Homo-oligomer: A and B are copies of this chain.
């Protein structure tokens, strides 16, 4: 197989017997070209397998592309990817494409990955902050590139952000448990150090404080070690001298572990997870749910808004959560 070289505007123009500008008009403006010339140009283009070069086009137009970057932590996490789906959809409505890059949840690689994307002249940057300082983006922001942080607020950077109603969502869940009499409620969190988990923990404490429970430390299983399984944490709670009658998980990792342990317990232990998951309905698991697609769409909309009006104020959006009762959260404490 021989690899031929690519045809350019000029090649097409030569074959069609017109100037390159006319070909340019056919492929871009679509105006001021006679139908006959147009046909001839398109015919030549097809014969030469011509494809307009967006690199050159964008360069001439001032170095702006039609792509928006999304910097994601871990590509295998369904949550992140569903957010990506939302971003992609919203962008597609506006003729923009998404480039995706992963930091593999490594704070050190964040700046490197982001830099590489900015060098591609993306029009906007949506990111899930992993590092604990995003001040390196300030210059780019001042140059007019919209920056939107998702799931967690950016640190040391003025930027739009879209986060979940973490604290209120968990508080609502815990309140539903205290309302039916629970007072001994466990909380699972791993990794406990990140923003979302800290917020959810705060919500858990809020709701318990409302009913006079302030000593919660022994019911909290806060870890920052992926090797500590959620199953293990649940079992350690149940092994307490005074075990909880209900458990709340800060993420779907915790739910997966809890489901495995709590299924055949007698007396049953109430459970509410954060993040909905496939089959949760079939298993009767109550959860604090939200719309991850909407999270992505909202982030994309904020980016597009800044693109349309560079002088607009930065915005913080909270995506609502809602408690979905499916049984496991409605189990009362043993009499």
Interface set of A (CB-CB < 8 Å, partner B) = 1, 3-4, 6, 49, 51-56, 58-59, 63, 65, 67, 75-76, 78, 81-82, 84-85, 88-89, 92, 97-102, 115-121, 139-140, 142-144, 256, 259-260, 263, 277-279, 282-283, 293, 310-311
Contacts and interface: CB of A to CB of B under 8 A. Distances in A.
12 contacts: A1-B311, A4-B142, A6-B143, A51-B119, A55-B58, A56-B59, A76-B82, A76-B85, A84-B100, A97-B116, A259-B279, A278-B279
A100 B97 CA distance: 7
- List the 7 shortest-distance A-B pairs measured between CB atoms, nearest first: A75-B85, A3-B144, A49-B139, A81-B81, A54-B119, A99-B99, A260-B282
Contacts of A88: 75, 100-102
B55 A143 contact: no
B56 A3 contact: no
B6 A63 contact: yes
Contacts of A97: 99-101, 116-117, 120
Oligomeric state, in copies: 2
Contacts of A277: 278-279
Contacts of A56: 59, 63
A56 B53 CA distance: 12
Contacts of A279: 256, 259, 277-279, 283
A5 to B, nearest CB: 8
A118 to B, nearest CB: 6
Most buried by B among A55, A58, A65, A99: A55
B67 A75 contact: no
From A4, A102, A120, A283, residue with most partner B Cβ within 10 Å: A120
A291 B256 CA distance: 20
Contacts of A256: 278-279, 282
Determine which residue in A59, A76, A89, A142 has the highest number of CB atoms from chain B within 10 A of its CB, and name it: A76
Contacts of A75: 81, 84-85, 88-89
A168 B142 CA distance: 57
Nearest to A158: B1
A102 B85 CA distance: 9
A53 B49 contact: no
B143 A49 contact: yes
B98 A100 contact: yes
Nearest to A314: B1
A89 B76 CA distance: 10
A147 B51 CA distance: 16
A275 to B, nearest CB: 12
Contact of A53 (B63, B67, B278): B63
